[in-house]
Every structure is written in structure tokens, then in C-alpha cells.
Amino acid sequence: MTTAAFVPYPDRYVPDQPPEVAAAAFHEVMRRRRSVRMFSDRPVSRETIEWLVRSAHSAPSGANKQPWRFVCVQDPFIKGRIREAAEAEEREFYARRANEEWLRDLAPLGTDETKEFLTIAPWLVVVFQLTHTDDGGQVYYLKESVGLACGLFLAAAQHAGLATLTHTPSPMAFLGDILGRPKHERPFLLIPVGYPADDCLVPAKALLRRPLDEVMVVV
């Protein structure tokens, strides 16, 4: 017999439109999301970032452990330190760590070791995964949980008209050091957030999505 307590589903969201219409409208917003590497320095309020984190934090997680921390960096000095350390890792990556196929796959994105966006974007949201809860408890489906939270964060930012990038300088341990995070927090993803630069360019090839019937199977 369960010992869980239940309540009626409070405040369930019911769109004004039938699901086909609401889903298509959401897709119209989401299909215009791009990974942006050319940011404007136009400010974004702390309040905005708090709402984005609240949406991310609404994600499901294994046994509802919420095994994430969102460290939101706006301090220019800290951003400078992050950029310096990330570029050092990226220099290593492009010169030695990446194999030929990886470099070939990245060519259409036009990326290199220079990460100007890390000092230009008004916010760097560094997402950490918690290997244990803050009180030492176990966590479950850690990567799935934190990945879901990050996905919701990106969707919330897109909905707010803001640009993001999912940046993964590798290895990312320096983020925990610079941000003074405890040992049970492991860097998961670095998400610059802001407005795209007025002259922002995005890779042409990355526009293309494989057709739906290649990625969706109905049985």
C-alpha cells in the first residue's frame, strides 16, 4: 500500500487552442531557435534570468531530486576568467585533442578557439549536475534530469526572445574552480544568454533539419 500523499492536479495548463494548433504555434517559436555565437552586450535583467531558471527548475528529475545548480554569471571579471580558461582548453582541443573527423564535422559551424561571446554575452549560465543532493542523498538519472532542465531553459529563453548557446569547453573542471563550487557539483553545460548581435551570422548548414520521417517512427 502506498504511503504517498496525493492532491488533485492543481492549476493544470489548458491552452485556449486545440492541441494541434497550440503545438504548431509552439513549434513556430522553437524552429527559429539557433545556436548563437555572436552576441550583443545589450543587458538582460536579473529578473529575466530568474524566470528562465524557474522554467528549467520545473523539469522532471529522478525521484524529484532536482540535482542541478544554475550559477548565473554577470560579473565581467569572472566572465573574463572563464573566457581565458575556456580558450586555453579550446586551443588544446583544436590543436591536439580533436581527431580529424571531429574537426571535419565542426567545419560547417566555423568555430575556433576564440570565444569572444564569453565576455560579450550579458549572462553566462553555468549548469552544474549534483552527484549527490546537498545533504548527501543519492540522485538518479542524473544526466537525463539535468539535460531535461537545460532543454527547458533553452526553450524558455527562446520564448523570451533571447539567444543562447550550448557551450561545452572540454574538460570543464575549471568552471568549478573559478566559481568556487563544492565537490559534489560537476560542470554540465555553459549557456551564454543574451540578444544576438545586430550583425549576427549563424551557420547556413546548421539550418537544415533532417525530414520528420527520418527522425520519427510511428508504429
- Residues forming contacts to ligand IYR in the complex (CB under 6 A) are 90, 93, 106, 109, 111, 167-170
| Number of CB atoms found within 10 A of residue 55's CB | 17
Looking at beta carbons, which residue is closest to ligand IYR? 111
Taking the least distance from each CB to ligand IYR, the nearer of 127 and 139 is: 127
Taking the least distance from each CB to ligand IYR, the nearer of 114 and 138 is: 114
Taking the least distance from each CB to ligand IYR, the nearer of 93 and 188 is: 93
CB of 85 to ligand IYR, least distance (A): 13
Pairing of strands 163-164, 123-130: unpaired
CB of 47 to ligand IYR, least distance (A): 29
Distance CA(166)–CA(189), nearest Å, equals 7
CB of 46 to ligand IYR, least distance (A): 26
Taking the least distance from each CB to ligand IYR, the nearer of 72 and 106 is: 106
| Number of CB atoms found within 10 A of residue 213's CB | 8
CB of 206 to ligand IYR, least distance (A): 9
CB of 148 to ligand IYR, least distance (A): 20
| Rounded alpha-carbon distances, angstroms, from residue 19 to 14, 16, 27, 55, 115 | 9, 9, 12, 21, 41
Taking the least distance from each CB to ligand IYR, the nearer of 90 and 185 is: 90
Taking the least distance from each CB to ligand IYR, the nearer of 58 and 170 is: 170
Burial of 11: CB neighbours in 10 Å, binned 0-12, 13-18, 19+: exposed
CB of 111 to ligand IYR, least distance (A): 4
